[in-house]
Structure 1
Amino acid sequence: MFIFLILCIFHFLSIFYFPSNPVLFLTKITPILFLIYTYYKKIGINSIIRKLIFFGLIFSLLGDSFLAFEGYFVPGLGSFLIAQILYSIGFSKQGKLHILRLIPFLVLGGLLYLYLLPSLPNGLIIPVSIYVLALVTMAWRASSRSIPTSKLNMSMAGASIFLVSDALIALTKFKSFPIMYPSFFIMVTYYLAQYLLVNSCKND
């Protein structure tokens, strides 16, 4: 946790002091690289579920890399779409359907999409709708796992914060939403979400 926090702080400082510098890219991907390393060393990939979450992290890293550069929004979105699908499949192997737990995420995702829709370029209407559906599904499956309560709470929190992070990205990109230091808050919520999801998989 301490090393991960330090790496995150380095990136937060880079947002303010090196906004258009290769340092920003390197500090952006380093926390997720560290999560991938610690996941492999401490949790392992010796089961289907663990492999799915591990490769979800890999595709998240790929998405981070694409989104760090102008003009690569669609490849970044596609990478995170694959990550959400992998997370959803992995979490689905640990629980029942729990349809009622889908409702709040579906409502929030639907409202966000309807709010964004008038501002979406025609070429992004379908990709964004697919991604929102995948994100909602991941949050639902993360909240429906049959794991100890402390881990389930961690999983639910991680998934919910992931929704917030992606909502911030969408609002700032397509709605010019007036958020102070958007990159900072996007990355704070994103790193926290990934950290919670990864740690909810310990001893599963």
Structure 2
Amino acid sequence: MAALAVVAAILYLWGLAFDAPAVRLLSKPVPALALAVLVRWGRRDGYATALTTGLALSALGDVLLEVPGHFVAGLATFLCAHLAYTAAFLLDERRLRLERALPFALWLLAAFVWIRPGLGEMTVPVVVYMLAIGTMMWRAAARWGDHPGATAALAGAVLFGLSDTLIAIDRFRAPLPGAPYAIILLYWAGQAGIAASARGPSAGGR
């Protein structure tokens, strides 16, 4: 499965470089699906189920974002993926730890202020999405230091957040040189980190 994900990733990057939409459409969801299978093979508990759900939704979102005119549908699908990841992180850590939310709140507020002039009718959907991914990153941070795989989950969540921040800037503020490559590489690294957090023994409450 890991080899399949790598091959698909290379094909997608080739599709980006040579503007091959069909290649991108077929290859883009494969890494997330491969990670979902790997997570499910490794564990059968609630945490793995939630991560598998998030990865499967991400694969669907990958497809939707490659289809012209389906950006909002893709956004909604990834929002649901973040909710699935948040549910996973809440299984074994319910303490609020609001101080760990502060860096993400400041990050997303700064990003919103920067892209706000270009949002237009997308303001509400983008704000709702930002709240979802911000919550996901916060709950990943809330687990850090106390639970198996928490470092991988936090690293993955932050990388996912960086990828989405670049998407927002590139789409709503100003095009960034090489943005598609940075966006997808950060995204894959983020998903891999979140998936890797499922390695190891199950924790209590899962």
TM-score, with normalisation over the residues of structure 2? Answer: 0.89
Q: 1:100 is matched with which residue?
A: 99
Q: 2:160 is matched with which residue?
A: 162
Structure 1 residue 118 corresponds to structure 2 residue 117:
yes
Structure 2 residue matching 1:143: 3-state secondary structure: helix
Structure 2 residues not aligned, in runs of 5+: none
Matches within 5 A, 1:138-177: 138-145=136-143, 146-148=146-148, 151-177=149-175
Give 1:115 deviation, angstroms: 1.3
Structure 2 Cα separation of the partners of residues 117 and 83 of structure 1: 24
Moved over 4 A (4+): none
Structure 2 Cα separation of the partners of residues 50 and 156 of structure 1: 16
Match of 1:191 among 188, 192, 195: 188
Task: Give the total of aligned pairs.
Answer: 197
Structure 1 residues not aligned, in runs of 5+: none
RMSD over aligned Cα atoms: 1.6
Structure 2 Cα separation of the partners of residues 128 and 23 of structure 1: 28
The amino acid that maps onto 2:81 is: A
Give 1:132 deviation, angstroms: 0.2
Matches within 5 A, 1:48-59: 48-59=46-57
Structure 2 Cα separation of the partners of residues 114 and 155 of structure 1: 27
Structure 1 residue 29 corresponds to structure 2 residue 68:
no
Give 1:168 deviation, angstroms: 0.9
Give 1:42 deviation, angstroms: 2.1
Contact 2:36–2:56 under 8 Å retained in 1? yes
Give 1:2 deviation, angstroms: 5.3
Structure 1 Cα separation of the partners of residues 66 and 21 of structure 2: 11
